[in-house]
Amino acid sequence: MSTRTALCLGWAVTVLALAGCGGKETPEERVSRLRLAHQVQPTAVQVRTTALGPELLVDFTVVNTAREKLPTLTVKVVLVDRHGRDRATHLVSLNTSDLLPGVAGQVTGFIPGESLAPGEQVRVEVEANVTVKERARYPEYRQAL
């Protein structure tokens, strides 16, 4: 191998090594990354009556595709009326501490004061861009500090 080839290879290895070295991930960045690694689907909905009124129970199938756990995951649950219009939106925090990475699990979320009329549906999403101001409403961000 010529000196020139060895220098070029050395330079290429250095560039690749530096490209892989980003800044250290902040706790908030870690939470954001882990939130997006979760796939969430509603699987069942039930209304129950409590002493305080109706409560909507939503069962979710959750899969964490990351290699590390996130103890709490907050999802946006949208109640859709029978005409396809959004009727109400709620943030629901799910206890995901028992979920193993890569394995689907069942988690139940609760929405006090809500019910579901015939023909209504539930839609769920894991929000991608939670602003710094909104993070106070997400337990997973508070737990990261």
pLDDT in tens, 82-122: 999 999 999 999 999 999 999 999 999 999 999 999 999 99
On whether residue 9 sits in a domain, the answer given is no
Give Dmax over CA atoms of the chain in angstroms: 82
Boundaries of domain holding 90: 25-144
pTM above 0.75, yes or no: yes
Specify if 50 maps to a domain: yes
| Structural domain contains residue 92 | yes
- Say if strands 38-50 and 53-64 run parallel, antiparallel, or are unpaired: antiparallel
Q: pLDDT tens across 120-143, in order? A: 999 999 999 999 999 999 999 998
Number of domains present in the structure of the chain = 1
**Residue 113 has which token pair?**
């004061």
Give the Cα separation of 78 and 85 in Å (integer). Answer: 10
> How far apart (Å, rounded) are the C-alpha atoms in residues 145 and 49?
36
Q: Is residue 47 part of a domain?
A: yes
Residue 81 is assigned to a structural domain of this protein: yes
Residue 15 domain-assigned? no
Q: Is 132 among the domain residues?
A: yes
Q: The CATH number of the domain where 52 resides is what?
A: 2.60.40
- The single residue listed with the structure tokens 């954001």 is 32
Q: Under DSSP, is residue 132 helix (H, G, I), strand (E, B) or coil?
A: coil
91, 138 contact by CB (below 8 A): yes
The answer as to whether 19 is a domain residue is no
